Amino acid sequence: MRLRIRHKDGMATLTSLTEQSTLLELHNEIAREVKTPAARLELKTGYPPKPLLIDSSSAQSSLQSLGIKDGEQIMTSERPDGSVSSFEFGSTSAASEPTVTSSAPTAQAATATSHAAAFQPPKAVGGLAFGSRPLIPLSGANSAFQAKPVAGAHPFGGLSTVDSSYKPPTPAPAPVSNLTAGPSGSVGSVRVRDQGILVVREVEDDNSCLFNAVAYTLDPSMKSNIAALRHIIAKAIEANPDDYSDAVLGRPRKDYCDWIRRENSWGGAIELAIFSEHYNIEIDSIDVSTNRVDRFGEGKFTQRALLMYSGIHYDAVALTPGLDIPEECDQTQFDIATSEEIINAGIQLSIKLKQAHKYTDVANFTLRCSVCQAGLKGEKDAQQHAQQTMHTSFEEYK
Q: Exposure pattern of 306-319 as b/e (b: 16+ CB <10 Å)?
A: bbbbbbbbbbbbbb
Counting every residue written for the chain, the total comes to 398
Q: How many CB atoms lie within 10 A of CB 140?
A: 24
Distance CA 159, CA 161 (A): 7
Active-site pick, 9, 115, 381, 391: 391
Beta bridge partners of 125: 128
Using only C-alpha atoms, the chain has a radius of gyration, in whole angstroms, of: 23
- 391 in catalytic set: yes
Q: Please tell me the number of Cα atoms within 13 Å of 57 on its side-chain side.
A: 0
Beta strands 303-309; 334-335: pairing state:
antiparallel
Q: Are 47 and 196 in contact (CB under 8 A)?
A: yes
Is position 313 annotated as part of the catalytic site? Answer: yes
- Compute CA distances 173 → 31, 237, 274, 345, whole Å: 43, 37, 30, 9
Set 209, 257, 329, 369: catalytic member: 209
Active-site residue flag, 278: no
From the list 313, 315, 329, 369, the catalytic residue is: 313
Sign of CA dihedral 147, 233, 117, 220: negative
Q: How far apart are CA 293 and CA 169, in angstroms?
A: 9
Phi, psi angles (nearest 5°) of residue 255: -65, -40
CA-nearest of 338, 356, 320 to 196 is 320
Which member of 206, 255, 335, 361 is catalytic? 206
Residues annotated as catalytic are 206, 209, 313, 391
